[in-house]
Structure 1
Amino acid sequence: MSPVSFSREQGDALQALLPELEFSGEFAGISSDDPLLAAYLGCYQLDFSARFPGVHHEIGIVNAAGFRIATQCWIPPEARGTLLVVHGYYDHVGIYDKVIAFGLQQGLAVLAFDLPGHGLSSGARAAIDSFDQYGDALEAVLLRAKGQLPLPWYGLGQSTGGAVLLNHLWRYEIQRVEPWLSKRALCAPLILPRGWTRGRWLYMLIHRFVRQLPRGPSRSSHDEEFIRFLDEQDCLQSRFLSVRWVGAMKNWHAQFLRFQPLDTPALILQGTDDQTVAWRYNLGEIQRRLPQARVQFIEGAGHQLVNEREDFRDQVFVTLRDYFCTLP
């Protein structure tokens, strides 16, 4: 993916250097050409200054739910809205370069953050006690961005990121007179993972005695270069499945089933070769609670829709462009 190397130790050092996110227009506490930041941006191809002249990049910390949440935004000149990006389990902002470029191509500012326990954010790696903590982190990031980034705001969540948007919708957005997110798109959203019937019994047997399980090879995309990068080069990917996270996911499923139906529209994109989530079950449960949601299938695509092979990814981004960038 990139010839520039970056290590977990460098990631920890960079996290420690990050100041609070201020939207000041200038870097405070860390220089934009700091070697750690330059190595991070180079490794994950997040420096968009050449491709999008005039784009301004901010990076810093938002304190939320007891975590230091690493948050970034890219703001093009005369941005006409903001795209919020919420990544999936194991992931982090670094591997969402294609999504960020998509947003900038549409003239949108892009706001993205690493979930607790992921990427440059604090917390036990890939672990969480409750998905509510993810929703609380999202709310804190939006509060910090309120009044700083242009409206309208659009939300895009991949897998667990889709679950975070759903959690936030029921726990925060429906309490407001005017929702902050004008539109939301869910890519392969997580309610339950594939194989959960068997996985549930395994969890019941081991969760009191085992903290983590080895993570197998990635099978989430047909883009072989992307998969190779995840498995062999991405130091910010956890190599273990947290049993505590599985318990939180189990509770998220039960919580979601208790949510009352809403008239809120949404776009759901789903690959038909998804080997990660129980997508048929998940779509049924989501549509029961969001009957106005529209489902768009991407035939043959896997789970990592925003990081799929180019032919699949093009379909995803065309659908997102039509959804976000046309009037309701």
Structure 2
Amino acid sequence: MTLSKSAPDFSELPEILPYLAFDPAEDGANVGDATTRAYLRHYGLDLAAEFPDVAQGVGRVRVDQWDIACHYWLPPQPRGHLSIVHGYFDHSALYVHAVRFALRHNLSVLTYDQPGHGLSSGPRLVIDSFDRYADVLQQLLERSRHLFGPTRCALGQSMGGATLLNHLWRHGNALTGRTALFAPLVLPRGWGLSRWLYALLHRWVREIPRTFIDSSHDTDFNRFLASEDPLQYRRLSVDWVGAMKRWDEVFRSWPVRNDELLMVQGTGDDTVDWQYNLQQIGRKLPNLRVEMLEGARHHLVNETPEYRDPAFAAVERFFFL
């Protein structure tokens, strides 16, 4: 499916975004720019009317060789903080349901576009190691520590879940609160065949065309991704597939940890090999809590309410009860 001619063009926005100070008095002015307002409206992130007392910042942060696009929301007296980490092909503006969940529970929020995704810089959807994703998260946590306080929870969808797992093993308990994984990625569905295609292609091909599949029961969301989201890259990086292959190998080599994390997984997920992923993550985290959602597809953050609501209810119980 091709991008609709009516879809907005945000290609100039990465250069317009100012660098964040993580100071609401300074960063709040960034939201007033006309192009930024159009971007927030298009993705439903113009939340000022719904949460009038919450300060919002939009901008970018220089992390290593990347300019990382970030959003944050800061209630007057938050009870804690939630960092939201998106999945492959995604970007942070698609996570408004997770932002609303956090703000309704009086949590401050940090979201950002992973390197090569959305409004962040870097070759599109290319990475040489999943370690890079976790290191970007760690630097953002360090840069924003003075603003968000000591209790730092996290929610990761798909590759975002892999980022949080990588971060846990390599950076320890820098996330001091609880962590929830939505359909976390270790390997994708159909990897048995795909690995042979990768072995044949990776020396000669850098990208292959992307196929859009229905990752949610929400037909409006599926259509939006395929035809109305100008930040959706329409090719798959073969180099990224190699990094994912190494991620699986590295993860299986790591020692067992006793941390208690939450994994929420739908049985209708056709994107990741959830049976394999659940087995591998469960071996490394024997105290893992698992919530299975019968019939739910992959993109739990953007599922229909009959699946999305139980997913966030599981997070609510895990975080607060």
TM-score category, normalised to shorter length: over 0.9
Question: What is the aligned counterpart of 1:312 among 294, 307, 311?
Answer: 307
**SS state at 1:26 partner:** helix
CA separation of 1:28/1:288 partners in 2, compared to 1, >3 Å: closer, same or farther? closer
Unaligned runs of 5+ in 2: 1-5
SS at match of 1:260: coil
Q: How many angstroms apart in 2 are the aligned matches of 1:220 and 1:228?
A: 11
Alpha-carbon distance, 1:30 to partner: 6.3
- Give, as a single letter, the amino acid of the residue that structure 2 aligns with 1:7: P
> SS state of the match for residue 12, structure 2?
helix
Match of 1:115 in 2: 114
Q: Distance in 2 between matches of 1:185 and 1:96?
A: 15
Q: Considering only aligned residues, what root-mean-square deviation do their CA atoms show, in Å?
A: 1.4
Letter paired with 2:265: Q
How far residue 200 of structure 1 moved from its aligned partner, in angstroms, is 0.1
| Conservation of the 8 A alpha-carbon contact between 2:87 and 2:157 | yes
Confirm or deny: 8 A CA contact 1:80 1:150 kept in the other structure.
Answer: no
**Which of 182, 202, 208 lines up with 2:197 in the alignment?**
202
Distance 1:325 1:122 in 2: 36
Q: Aligned partners of 2:314, 2:28: CA distance in 1, in Å?
A: 40
- How far the C-alpha of 1:320 sits from its partner, in A, is 1.0
With over 3 angstroms needed to count, the CA separation of the structure-2 counterparts of 1:23 and 1:255, relative to structure 1, is same
Count of matched residue positions in the alignment of Structure 1 and Structure 2: 316
Kept after mapping to 2: 8 A contact 1:125/1:238 = yes
Q: Deviations over 1:122-178 (max 9, x none)?
A: 01111111111101110111011112113411110000000000001011125xxxx
Contact 2:215–2:297 (8 Å) recurs in 1: yes
Structure-1 residue corresponding to 2:20: 21
Letter of the aligned partner of 1:195 in structure 2? Answer: G
Cα distance between partner residues in 1 of 2:77 and 2:317:
20
**Deviation (angstroms), 1:214:** 0.9
Secondary structure of 1:52 counterpart? coil
Q: Aligned partners of 2:27, 2:80: CA distance in 1, in Å?
A: 25
Gaps of 5+ in 1: none
Picking from 201, 211, 234, the partner of 1:239 is: 234
Which residue is equivalent to 1:165?
164
2:32 alignment partner, SS class: coil
The 1:274/1:249 distance shift into structure 2, 3 A limit, reads same
- Kept after mapping to 1: 8 A contact 2:30/2:59: no
Does the Cα contact within 8 Å between 1:273 and 1:302 map onto a contact in 2?
yes
Measured in 1, the distance between the counterparts of 2:18 and 2:51 equals 25
**Match of residue 145 from structure 1:** 144
Q: Report the equivalent of 1:212.
A: 207
Equivalent residue letter for 1:65? D
TM-score by length of 1: 0.93
Provide TM-score, normalisation by structure 2: 0.95
Q: Report percent identity of matched pairs.
A: 47
TM superposition shift of 1:7: 3.5
| CA shift for structure 1 position 64 | 1.7
Q: Is the 8 A contact 1:109 1:150 kept in 2?
A: no
Aligned to 2:91: 92
CA distance in 2, matches of 1:6, 1:102: 27
